[in-house]
């Protein structure tokens, strides 16, 4: 094997604060605005974060959206009701206070949920996350089941014609036809996001489509976390650095 196979990935530069001037800002949630926790329910959103995001949104003329794999119902429960939202990996959309625009929950998702629940029976640490139009199988609490859970998720996706979304210690099944990139492109068509330069901040492989779409429209992606092959142009090392960066944006 060549020596270059062992070469560390080059670190990306930190984003300049000026990138936020005139931006249309797209923010992932888990691992970007909130540190990852052992279970989906163990994540909280503090008032300081909501205040910071509200200030930044106002400063950007409203051009700030949360684009998450979480459902919009959950994002609203977490406190993001006043924000423009896209949930379930680009399948759902909602403006503040307005009804959710989303496809219906498919019977196939219920069938998968039942199969996931049967699989986790007697396997402590595994968790089924029921979501509005999708379902997740989490193995953060029992990583030894990664391979078997992945095989089950793949088989169920194939059997039911669903999309298999790999996340962090998570297999999620959902309808296809959308991702965070398509969400960004759709939101950029209308107010308030239209007219801004898209900047997408995210940590997960599911955010790569968002980075690509931002770059396609002349903007940029910001990867949160350790270096990895990515379409992002900039990097922030952790959630705390994201918050610091956004606060710098507010300060001017």
Ligand X SMILES: O=P(O)(O)OC[C@H]1O[C@H](O[C@H]2O[C@H](CO)[C@@H](O)[C@H](O)[C@H]2O)[C@H](O)[C@@H](O)[C@@H]1O
92 binds ligand X (CB under 6 A): no
Q: How many residues bind ligand X (CB under 6 A)?
A: 25
Q: Kindly give, in sequence order, each residue whose CB lies less than 8 Å from that of residue 250, ignoring residues fewer than 6 positions away.
A: 52, 55, 56, 59
Q: How far apart are CA 218 and CA 237, in angstroms?
A: 23
Burial of 60 (C-beta count, 10 Å sphere; 0-12/13-18/19+): buried
E strand segments, 104-233: 127-130, 135-138, 163-167, 170-174, 197-202, 220-224
Of 28, 30, 179, 207, the catalytic one is 28
Choose the stretch contacting ligand X; rule: CB under 6 A; options: 14-22, 50-58, 108-116, 135-143. Answer: 135-143
Of 45, 142, 169, 247, the residue at the interface with ligand X (CB under 6 A) is: 169
Smallest separation, CB 240 to ligand X (Å): 15
Of 70, 126, 153, 173, the residue at the interface with ligand X (CB under 6 A) is: 70
Q: Which is nearer to ligand X, 77 or 195 (CB)?
A: 77
Give the pairing of strands 135-138 and 170-174: antiparallel
Q: Which is nearer to ligand X, 115 or 170 (CB)?
A: 170
For 147, half-sphere exposure in the C-beta direction (CA atoms, 13 angstrom radius) is 1
Active site residue 204: no
Q: Which is nearer to ligand X, 143 or 195 (CB)?
A: 143
Smallest separation, CB 189 to ligand X (Å): 21
Dihedrals φ, ψ of 232, to 5°? -70, 155
136 binds ligand X (CB under 6 A): yes
Choose the stretch contacting ligand X; rule: CB under 6 A; options: 9-17, 45-53, 131-139, 152-160. Answer: 131-139
Give the pairing of strands 170-174 and 163-167: antiparallel
- Which residues of this protein are in contact with ligand X, per CB under 6 A? 28-31, 36-40, 43, 68-70, 129, 131, 136, 138, 140, 167-170, 172, 204, 206
């Amino acid at each position: 094997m060549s020596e270059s196979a062992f070469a560390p990935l080059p670190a990306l530069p930190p984003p300049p604060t000026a990138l936020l001037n005139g931006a249309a800002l797209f923010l992932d949630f888990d691992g970007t605005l909130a540190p990852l926790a052992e279970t989906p329910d163990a994540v909280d959103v503090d008032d300081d974060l909501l205040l910071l995001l509200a200030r930044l949104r106002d400063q950007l003329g409203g051009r700030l959206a949360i684009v998450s794999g979480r459902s919009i119902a959950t994002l609203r429960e977490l406190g993001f009701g006043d924000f423009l939202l896209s949930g379930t990996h680009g399948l759902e959309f909602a403006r503040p206070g307005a009804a959710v625009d989303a496809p219906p929950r498919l019977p196939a998702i219920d069938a998968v949920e039942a199969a996931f629940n049967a699989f986790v029976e007697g396997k402590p640490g595994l968790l089924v996350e029921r979501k509005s139009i999708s379902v997740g199988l989490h193995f953060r609490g029992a990583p030894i089941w990664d391979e078997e859970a992945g095989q089950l998720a793949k088989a169920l996706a194939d059997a039911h014609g669903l999309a298999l979304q790999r996340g962090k210690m998570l297999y999620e099944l959902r309808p296809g036809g959308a991702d965070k990139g398509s969400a960004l492109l759709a939101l950029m068509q209308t107010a308030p996001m239209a007219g801004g330069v898209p900047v997408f901040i995210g940590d997960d492989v599911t955010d790569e489509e968002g980075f690509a779409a931002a770059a396609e429209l002349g903007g940029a992606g910001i990867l949160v976390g350790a270096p990895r092959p990515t379409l992002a142009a900039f990097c922030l090392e952790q959630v705390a650095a994201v918050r610091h960066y956004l606060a710098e944006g507010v300060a001017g």
